[in-house]
Amino acid sequence: MQLATTPRIAFLRELRAQIIRDYPRGRVVVAVDGAEGAGTAEFADDLAAVYREAGTDTARASMRDFHLPRATRHAHGTDDPRDYYERSFDYETLRRALIDPFRLGGSTGFQTTAFDVTRDAPVVTEWKTGPADMVLLVDGPFLLRPEIRGAWNFSVLLDVPLADAYARLAATQGRDPDPEARSNARYVGGWRRYGERNEPQYLASAVIDLSDPEHPQREYPDTGCACF
């Protein structure tokens, strides 16, 4: 289905063309990294739609479906930034159930969901398959940390100032719009720890200014990233 051309869709078509130039065939895994409120899920959904528009088989997954149990995530309380950065996500299961079998191609099945964070319990979902030429898009935070950065063929970091990201969260989830509010300390502190330790703006294949979601722009950071 042909998508209506908007500045956002036109930008995503150009991004798709770049990825295809580098990875024209086979199983391709793309990461969309960013802070809470940056719009990683929506960006990955739209990029998937642009791939499907071109006739490419596409799968979607999110780190929200690869959480660790609550007792692990909150080992030091609900406000601890280090817990958020170090103990939120199950990278071992992500690789075992999704990334590794997806890369094998052929008839090998993969799972795009492994954990229900609301029920705080693992889930068993349908094993999916696809053709030899296929794209998997994964969104979420911390995707360029050492444990997982080697999983991606191409990675995107969304650069959104935290004030903008938390204004969006306030509008959609009723969160405090002030990134420095105590109620946001776990997530903002953990995200900043990620930035300080990894400097993902220098690791990503593409850094994208998404402060205006409808008008994405490529960035070439040399001094930092507004998203930390």
Bridging pattern class, strands 27-33 and 154-159: parallel
Single-letter amino acid, residue 40? T
Higher pLDDT among residues 104 and 223, named by residue: 104
Angle formed by the axes of helices 40-53 and 7-22, to 10°? Answer: 70
CATH number for 140: 3.40.50.300
> What is the reported pLDDT for 223?
64
Q: What range defines the domain where residue 132 resides? A: 35-216
- How far is it, in rounded angstroms, from Cα 185 to Cα 182? 5
- How far is it, in rounded angstroms, from Cα 144 to Cα 45? 19
| Nearest partner of 184 among 174, 198, 194, 196, judged by Cα | 174
Q: What is the tens place of the pLDDT at every residue in 18-56? A: 999 999 999 999 999 999 999 999 999 999 999 999 999
> What pTM does this model have?
0.96
Over the chain, what is the mean pLDDT?
95
- Whether the per-residue pLDDT at 152 is higher than 90: the answer is yes
144 within domain boundaries: yes
Sequence-distant (≥ 6) Cβ neighbours of residue 17 within 8 angstroms: none
- Whether the per-residue pLDDT at 105 is higher than 90: the answer is no
13 within domain boundaries: no
- Whether the per-residue pLDDT at 125 is higher than 90: the answer is no
Single-letter amino acid, residue 120? D
Which residue(s) pair with 61 in the sheet? 138
Bridging pattern class, strands 115-116 and 121-122: antiparallel
**Residue 126 — very low, low, confident or very high, per pLDDT cuts 50/70/90?**
confident
pLDDT-above-70 percentage for the chain: 100
- For the segment 137-153, the average pLDDT, to the nearest whole number, is 97
- Whether the per-residue pLDDT at 113 is higher than 90: the answer is yes
> What is the reported pLDDT for 15?
98
Structurally, the chain folds into a number of domains equal to: 1
Q: Locate all alpha helices (DSSP H) within 174-222, ordered by sequence.
A: 185-198
- Whether the per-residue pLDDT at 222 is higher than 80: the answer is no
Higher pLDDT among residues 225 and 65, named by residue: 65
- How far is it, in rounded angstroms, from Cα 125 to Cα 28? 22
How many beta carbons lie within 10 A of that of residue 74, not counting itself?
17
> What is the reported pLDDT for 77?
92
> What is the reported pLDDT for 75?
95
162 within domain boundaries: yes
Sequence-distant (≥ 6) Cβ neighbours of residue 25 within 8 angstroms: 132, 133
